[in-house]
Amino acid sequence: MELTKGEILVLEQVAKGNKSLKEIALALKKSEPQVYVYVKNLADKSLIELTNGDIEPKRMPHLSLLLQLLSKIPNLTPILEGPGIPIFTAMLKPSTIEEISNETGYKKTAIYKRLQEARKRSLVRKKLTTFEINDKMWAGLKETLEEIKKSELKTDNRIPASAIIYYKKRDEIVFSSKEELDAVKTAFSAYQDYGIGLLTITHFYYLPKKALTKEDILKHSLYIIEKDMDTRYLIFIALFYTKYKKEFKIKHQILMNIGAVLAGGEVKGYPKYQEIKDRAEVYKIEV
């Protein structure tokens, strides 16, 4: 969830009990048309409703927590505006600047600048090369960010309400739907283009529309398995990974576990070697 300075200032006023355009415009020393633009943007993001000039926040856990935070802690706008919320959400677990950049899509310089501001207020702590939220001093912020992340993994304006989201950031999303959609098929839905056909009632998609590499398709498959550990899908990942292994540079625990199984070992929750071998013979893949 990305919010502009103006949008956060409006939410701050709503948190203080000011719910009319006129009251908020006076408090912010801005014109009503200016405030209306911020309010309209918040409504478009499904955070508030505007009725006859009165603003009513939606009843959602992450928004309620954000409003509580804004009402209790002064001058949070410079921290949270623009890339702030996505950057700090990426630090719910210890992350390097490069990992934050990969997850959010923001440049390292923008991340570093926001981290400098946050460290002045002891909002984050650094351990060697990683950063994470300082939950001892900012427990309320961490809880808010956790709820924001949960909410964002459930809904997105780019896809149908019934779709399941596996991965998303500002400029891309991996999801599934039972509908035929105008999006790029990826993960298990794309395997048939590489000689590994499988029938599913669910379609796996990627947006924005672009040509995907084999590495993209494998990476998207891993996002799905991380959320839905399905033995059948693990077998197909093993086949796709084995068939094109020389082309991949991805390092991931799931691939390491699959490698252990293919070497004759056993990993809890993973298919047995013979199961993978039997299916590989169908597609003439050597394991």
**What is the number of domains present in the chain?**
3
Residue 225's H or E segment, with its range, is helix 214-227
Whole-structure pTM value: 0.73
What's the CATH code of the domain at 91?
1.10.10.10
> What are the Cα distances from residue 255, in Å, to 10, 276, 278?
46, 14, 19
Helices and strands in the chain, H and E counts: 13, 8
Last-in-domain residue among 19, 50, 75: 75
Task: Give the rounded distance of the alpha carbon of 21 from its chain centre.
Answer: 32
* Closest-CA residue to 5 (of 23, 22, 28): 28
> What are the Cα distances from residue 214, in Å, to 139, 217, 219?
41, 5, 9
Instruction: Residue 7: give the domain boundaries.
Output: 1-75
Q: 198: pLDDT confidence band, cut at 50, 70 and 90?
A: confident
Look at residue 287 in the predicted model and tell me its pLDDT. Answer: 84
Q: What is the pLDDT of residues 109-135, one digit of tens each?
A: 999 999 999 999 999 999 999 999 999
Q: Are residues 135 and 176 in the same domain?
A: no
Q: Are residues 123 and 55 in the same domain?
A: no
Query: What distance in Å separates the CA atoms of residue 43 and residue 211, rounded to the nearest whole number?
Result: 34
Q: Residue 287: inside a domain, yes or no? A: no
Q: Are residues 119 and 35 in the same domain?
A: no
Query: What distance in Å separates the CA atoms of residue 227 and residue 208, rounded to the nearest whole number?
Result: 21
Q: Residue 15: inside a domain, yes or no? A: yes
Q: Are residues 142 and 231 in the same domain?
A: no
Q: 38: pLDDT confidence band, cut at 50, 70 and 90?
A: very high
Q: Residue 163: inside a domain, yes or no? A: no
Q: Residue 13: inside a domain, yes or no? A: yes
Q: Are residues 91 and 119 in the same domain?
A: yes
Q: Residue 177: inside a domain, yes or no? A: yes
Q: Residue 34: inside a domain, yes or no? A: yes
Q: What is the pLDDT of residues 165-183, one digit of tens each?
A: 999 887 899 999 999 999 9
Q: Are residues 187 and 231 in the same domain?
A: yes
Q: Are the beta carbons of 74 and 127 closer than 8 angstroms?
A: no
* Closest-CA residue to 153 (of 143, 142, 144, 163): 163
Question: Which pair of tokens denotes residue 102?
Answer: 């990969």
